[in-house]
Amino acid sequence: MTKAPVGSAKHRKILLPSSSIVAVMAALALPAGAEAQTSQPLTRAGTLITNTATASYDTGGGNIVTVDSNSVDMHVEELLDVTVAQNGTGDVPTAPGATAQVLSFQVTNSGNGPEAFTLTAAGNVAGDDYDPTVNGIYIDSNGNGVYDPGIDALYPVGSEPLLEPETSMTIFVVATTPATVGDGDRGIVTLTAAAKTGTGTPGTLVPGAVGEGNVGVVIGASGGTADFDHAFRVAAATVTLVKSAVVLNSFGTAIPLPGATITYTIVANVTGSGSVNDLTITDSLPPEVSYQSGSITLDGGTLTDAADGDAGRFDADTVSVALGTVPGGESRTVIFRTKIN
Amino acid sequence: MEPMMRPFLLVIAAALLPVPALAANQVALDNNVFVERIQTDDSGKQRILLEEPKTVVPGDRLVFVLNYRNGGTQPADKFVVTNPMPAAVRFAEAGGSRPLVSVDGGKQWGLLADLTVAEADGTRRAAQPADVTHVRWAFDKPIPVGGTGKLMFRGVVK
């Protein structure tokens, strides 16, 4: 057997009186980093920890004697801890007046016993530009990570589900964005999860609470409660139309004589961080002018007059160009020609 | 702790207590476990308290103390004390006593700095305190009759 260099161990004096509580000097503190490993799963509440040591020795002539120490038993109490985080990164885009807007959260039981958590969602918190109207807190019933109206159930108040230790649930806060918000406005919703067994000062015992395995329940480092601010960001867009006309008569001047050509230019400017959908430019011509067939162009490209695959059409007295979705910061230019009757 | 709240556990605990090891004519090994708790007094000064715990929580720092006494009539030669780590406790350190440790359930022994652990990919890495499965002190001199001593190590509740 290898001999350990234990000369100092025999004479090491550790002043640990047998009384149950004793103050000792801070020199006995664990070296830094001794408890740095936290990736291991926590010991489950109710676990019995037993420590027993054994001594063996030779009383002479190879007579080996083995003795066991007494055993020391400790039960692992239940620790109440929770974390709340958002799913995904950054803010969630919304639009003025939009309903059924969804923020996704992750609530994790970071304690060591099964626990149920009370959830509250607050839209009226400080530090943002507007208050989202919270309509409900839903649980991801089918576990697909996406809010499914009519499938994902309202988070039950009063019968909150038990969450196993070190497991998570996906929670959706469904809200309405007020119609009055402006582009770029930010609206925070704070989701708070609180252990139903108790919250309070870390390290304190919850009076009267009995945890898994009939042990006491202790407030963990989180205080038994946690919250997270997740936010909507309004992405709105506005359209401005600028129309201009250029007259050219057969004399090469701009006098609007009968038979002169009027070239109309309509510029649609979209501004804001959002985009506009189904944007269509229409222009009804006055009876004093006649549309020149095949003259519609969009950003320089010619469009046909028929109601067909391309964006342009002329019908009766109306020119229309369907621009579809136009993001903020872009513009579209429509040009067509008419003749003065 | 509130004994009235958990009579069941107390019965179990009592049943697990071995016959006292202080039989005559042999070496007695007395095992104590303390939990280190930090207390802040009214002036904001922190002190570390050692308590004998009935209960612990994950993250609690434990001090294991083993007192031995040769109560026999012969010197105890080749004296070896072995403490298997409870499964729910991670070894931290043993101060300056430099015990032998095992990181493979007691098959091989050595100083922690000399041991390695197999990785999943077949390579070996240096053993860490968290790998320790057993702690052992092997004395190179006999314990004289009446001789006493104290061994200690620290661990953290996983």
Give pLDDT, residue A309: 86
The pLDDT value recorded for residue A39 is 60
Other Cβ atoms within 10 Å of A68 Cβ, number: 14
Q: Cα separation of A242 and A264, whole Å?
A: 10
Residues 6+ apart with CB under 8 A from A217: A77, A78, A80, A113, A197, A198, A205, A206, A209, A210, A211
pLDDT at A23: 38
pLDDT digits (tens, 9 = 90+) for B105-127: 999 999 999 999 999 999 999 99
Model confidence at B15: pLDDT above 60: no
DSSP reduced 3-state for A324: strand
- Structure token pair of residue A248: 């050219």
HSE-CB for A159 with a 13 A CA cutoff:
3
Question: Which residue type occupies A11?
Answer: H
What CA–CA distance (Å, rounded) separates A106 from A228? 10
How far, in Å, CA of A185 to CA of A15, rounded? 63
Nearest-CA neighbor of A239 among A334, A313, A123, A331?
A331
Task: Give the bridge partners for A291, in sequence order.
Answer: A338
| Minimal CA separation from A309 to chain B, in Å | 60
Whether residue B93 contacts residue A254, with contact meaning beta carbons closer than 8 Å, is answered with: no
pLDDT of residue A41: 87
Predicted interface score ipTM higher than 0.90? no
Task: Please tell me the predicted confidence (pLDDT) of residue B54.
Answer: 85
Does the beta-carbon distance from B21 to A12 stay under 8 Å? no
Tell me if A240 sits within 8 A of A269, measured CB to CB: yes
Name every chain A residue with its beta carbon within 8 A of the beta carbon of B12.
48
Letter for the amino acid at B21? A
Contact A209, A198 (CB under 8 A): yes
Average pLDDT, chain B: 85
The token pair that represents A113 in the structure block: 């016993």
Task: Judge whether B79 is closer than 8 Å to chain A, CB to CB.
Answer: yes
pLDDT, mean of residues B6-25: 44
Distances (CA, A) of A33 to A62, A126, B111, B156: 43, 38, 20, 11
* CA–CA dist A195, A81 (Å, integer): 8
Residue type at position A3:
K
Contact A22 B49 (CB under 8 A): yes
CB contact under 8 A, A214 and B66: no
Residue of A nearest to B141 (CA): A7
Taking contacts as CB-CB distances below 8 angstroms, the residues of chain B near A76 are 55-58, 88, 157
| Chain-chain contact of A54 with B59 (C-beta, under 8 angstroms) | no
Taking residue A127's Cβ as centre, other Cβ atoms within 10 Å add up to 9
pLDDT in tens, A261-282: 999 999 999 999 888 889 999 9
Q: In Å, how far is B123's CA from the nearest CA of chain A?
A: 22
| Mutation for B interface: A48, A67, A80, most B CBs within 10 A | A67
Q: What is the tens place of the pLDDT at every residue in B128-144?
A: 999 999 999 999 999 99
Contacts 24+ apart (CB under 8 A), A238-245: A238/A183, A238/A270, A238/A271, A238/A272, A238/A276, A239/A268, A239/A269, A239/A270, A239/A276, A239/A279, A239/A326, A240/A268, A240/A269, A240/A271, A241/A266, A241/A267, A241/A268, A241/A269, A241/A281, A242/A266, A242/A267, A242/A269, A243/A267, A243/A283
Chain A nearest C-alpha distance from B28 (Å): 7
Judged by CB atoms closer than 8 Å, whether chains meet at A16 and B83 is answered as no
Ranges of residues in chain A whose predicted pLDDT is under 50: 1-38
Q: Give CA–CA dist A191/A105, Å, rounded.
A: 8
Please tell me which of the candidates A6, A40, A55 has its beta carbon nearest to residue B68: A55
Nearest to A296 by CA among A314, A315, A277, A322: A314
Residue type, A24: V
Distances (CA, A) of A51 to A42, A159, A295, B80, B84: 19, 40, 93, 17, 8
pLDDT for residue B70 is more than 50: yes
Lowest mean pLDDT among A216-230, B3-17, B61-75: B3-17
Chain A CB within 8 Å of residue B153 CB: no
Residue A201: count other Cβ atoms within 10 Å of its Cβ.
8
Chain A residue nearest residue B79, CA to CA: A57
Cross-strand partners of A176? A133
Q: What local confidence, expressed as pLDDT, does residue B53 receive?
A: 85
Q: What is the DSSP letter of A109?
A: E
The rounded Cα A182 to chain-centroid distance in angstroms is 21
Task: Give me the torsion for CA of A24, A25, A28, A34, rounded to 10°.
Answer: 110
Q: Tell me how far apart the alpha carbons of residues A333 and A243 are, in angstroms, rounded to a whole number.
A: 10
Tell me if chain B has a CB within 8 Å of the CB of A250: no
Give the count of beta carbons closer than 10 Å to the beta carbon of residue B116: 14
B89 touches chain A (CB under 8 A): yes
